[in-house]
Amino acid sequence: MARNRYDMDEILEDSFDVNQLKRLAGYIAPYKKKMAGVILLMLSSSALTMAIPIFFQNVMDHSIPEKDMKSITFYSIATLLIALYSGISLRIKIKTMSVIGQNIVHDIRYDIFCHLQELPFSYYDDRPHGKIQVRVVNYVNSLSDLLSNGIVNTFTDLCNLIFILMFMFALDVRLTLICLCGLPVLAFVIILIKKKQRRAWQIQSNKQSNLNAYIAESINGIRVTQSFVRENENTGIFNNLSKNYRKSWMRAVMFNFTMGPSVDIISTFTTALIYVLGVRWILAPDMTLTVGVLIAFTAYIGRFWAPINTLAGFYNSLLTAISYLERIFETIDEPVGVRDEPDAIPMPEVAGEVKFSHVSFGYEPGQKILEDINFTAEPGETYAIVGPTGAGKSTIVNLISRFYNVDSGKITIDGIDISKVTLHSLRTQMGIMMQDSFIFAGTIMDNIRYGNRSATDEEVIRAAKTVCAHDFIMEMENGYKTQVNERGSRLSAGQRQLISFARALLADPKILILDEATSSIDTETELLLQKGLNELLKGRTSFIIAHRLSTIKNADCILYVDKGDILERGNHDALMEQKGEYYKLYMSQYDFLK
Ligand SMILES: Nc1ncnc2c1ncn2[C@@H]1O[C@H](COP(=O)(O)OP(=O)(O)OP(=O)(O)O)[C@@H](O)[C@H]1O
């Protein structure tokens, strides 16, 4: 999917791919034994209930005329027992199938989530996150009914139909043929609306996705919305999207609603015809039909159309589910752009030499963000990357952690090409602090420990102390046990950065990447931090991106990047002497501070 927005529909598949159902069958397979048990149970109960109309026929044609109370009592008790057996079977079916249905839903959702964990940043860059959520939550949920009831009901109803037809044929062939006349009419209705119905559900799934995307975006952007007093405009956009969703849903569901009434109309017509002809045959001089047979037969007609109605319902849910399945499997099939090569080896413990050799990269095909980048950071060196906004600084460090693969050239660590090692072994040797210091819902302790799950409380506290986060944490009501919300909304931007800083340091990495790590920290804290930082940078290869140049003056090497190219390189003094771009940038900040 090229870049998508909340108001852009996703591309709709034209023809239905049967493989999707095969894949769904793969999820159902582990439960097939239990399902078969339920189907058998339901079939036995149906077979028994099927005998009830025959009981009626016998009572009407024999027991009542012959005043045989014994057989009437027998048929009554048998009918009661059969009803009891059906009730218990139904209860077992509902319970078992609900559990199985929810298990399958869980399995599918688990697979999508696992896959999402591996998908490259570019996948998330390209679409609204709400459109991803809707697949994991709503679309998968929508399969639940189909999986818990649909499949078993379809099997049992198909078998029921066969049973019923056998009984009906045994009772009266002519009446059965009249009843069957309705089926071609129903098939014609299905063929007539099938294509439109499928498309309507696909459109509905798109509109639902758009609406979800906008809700997610609005929640994330609520501060900006309220700051710029955009509430009314946003409500208007939401209103439109919601109306579009309602409209698409109404249209899709209208097709579904066509099925039930069609079945009803067709069944009423055939039943009426059966009554008319049946009564005629009863009244005929040769009396080719008895009253008992007609009564028993009409009881079967109801049972004949009931499964057809459920099958039509199943067909509806199948068409609905298919439009969701397309999206679900599309997500699961999304290629993991950055993944371990089949022969990837674990990266041995590194000393920390990072080398870029003729590296070029662009986020989109044909676009160049970095062009022929070359540099070598020796183990333990601190590299600062500076330059104007959008120059490509974050892109360089993202490539070191292999969040994206390079288009050409190579990046090596200690001489080993990073594309040839496992991502896990590579990233566990890096401490990365990105621009958006993401805070997860949980305690502050958990958030710092995210960098190293085996760290003790003491180690967490030591890391926090080093980055000067300890004091503010201790001032909070529960210290390290204080609960913070997702995104850390109750923390200041600087506090969030300090926590992420501690998280990166706790990983005790050989390679440290700090992307704008100190941009929201006040100058006083930064000075304090600098001391701890200097200690920590010792023995680690570090890449620091900073707009505030005072923080990187001591770097071993400063790369001045602009438009994806390294324009200047050297330490602070050398670059100042050069009186080039770095000099201008530094002086402009210096003048500004004067
Ligand atoms: N995910 C992305 N998809 C497409 N283009 C991107 C993506 N991320 C960044 N870019 C583009 O790549 C270029 C370099 O971005 P980058 O984030 O590396 O800049 P930067 O130097 O770190 O900027 P800043 O100082 O503002 O953080 C910019 O033109 C930006 O628009």
pLDDT in tens, 133-178: 888 888 898 888 788 778 888 888 888 888 889 888 988 899 999 9
- Please identify, by atom number, the ligand 1 atom nearest to the C-alpha of residue 387: 21
Whether ligand 1 lies within 6 angstroms of the CB of 390 is answered as: yes
pLDDT digits (tens, 9 = 90+) for 423-441: 989 988 888 887 677 888 8
Report the residue count for the chain: 594
Residue 406 lies in a domain: yes
**Minimal-distance CA residue to ligand 1 atom 31:** 390
**Minimal-distance CA residue to ligand 1 atom 17:** 394
Q: Please say if the pLDDT value at position 2 is more than 60.
A: no
Same-domain check for residues 460 and 479: yes
Same-domain check for residues 96 and 234: yes
Q: What is the pLDDT of residue 319?
A: 81
Whether ligand 1 lies within 6 angstroms of the CB of 392 is answered as: yes
Last residue of a domain, one of 472, 488, 508: 508
Q: Residue 564 Cα, ligand 1 centroid: separation in angstroms?
A: 10
Give yes or no for a contact between 127 and 3, defined as CB atoms under 8 angstroms apart.
yes
Same-domain check for residues 234 and 210: yes
- Please identify, by atom number, the ligand 1 atom nearest to the C-alpha of residue 398: 18
Residue 341 lies in a domain: no
Q: What is the mean pLDDT of residues 225-248?
A: 91
Q: What is the pLDDT of residue 519?
A: 67
Residues forming a β-bridge with 558: 384, 570
Residue 346 lies in a domain: no
Same-domain check for residues 251 and 400: no
Residue 3 lies in a domain: no
**Minimal-distance CA residue to ligand 1 atom 23:** 390
Same-domain check for residues 180 and 265: yes
Q: What is the pLDDT of residue 60?
A: 86
Residue 552 lies in a domain: yes
Q: Which domain holds residue 233?
A: 18-333
Q: What is the pLDDT of residue 301?
A: 87
> pTM higher than 0.90, yes or no?
no
Whether ligand 1 lies within 6 angstroms of the CB of 352 is answered as: no
Classify residue 557 by its DSSP letter. E
Same-domain check for residues 303 and 374: no
pLDDT digits (tens, 9 = 90+) for 72-90: 999 999 999 999 999 999 8
Residue 257 lies in a domain: yes
Q: Given the cut 0.95, state whether the ipTM is greater than it.
A: yes
Same-domain check for residues 196 and 265: yes
Same-domain check for residues 485 and 518: no
For residue 201, which of 79, 318, 68 has the smallest C-alpha distance?
318
Q: How many domains does the chain fold into?
A: 3
Last residue of a domain, one of 508, 533, 557: 508
Same-domain check for residues 70 and 151: yes
CATH number at residue 280: 1.20.1560.10
Same-domain check for residues 483 and 532: no
Class of residue 365 by CB neighbours under 10 A (exposed 0-12, middle 13-18, buried 19+) = exposed
Query: How far, rounded to the nearest angstrom, does the alpha carbon of residue 336 sit from its chain's CA centroid?
Result: 15
Whether ligand 1 lies within 6 angstroms of the CB of 369 is answered as: yes
Q: In whole numbers, what is the pLDDT of the chain averaged over residues?
A: 87
Same-domain check for residues 48 and 194: yes
Residue 163 lies in a domain: yes
Same-domain check for residues 264 and 312: yes
Last residue of a domain, one of 286, 303, 333: 333
For residue 437, which of 511, 512, 514 has the smallest C-alpha distance?
514
Q: Count Cα neighbours of 8 within 13 Å in the Cβ-side half-sphere.
A: 10
Q: Residue 381 Cα, ligand 1 centroid: separation in angstroms?
A: 25
Please give the biggest Cα pair distance in the chain. Answer: 122
Q: Residue 435 Cα, ligand 1 centroid: separation in angstroms?
A: 12
CATH number at residue 398: 3.40.50.300
Whether ligand 1 lies within 6 angstroms of the CB of 220 is answered as: no
**Minimal-distance CA residue to ligand 1 atom 14:** 392
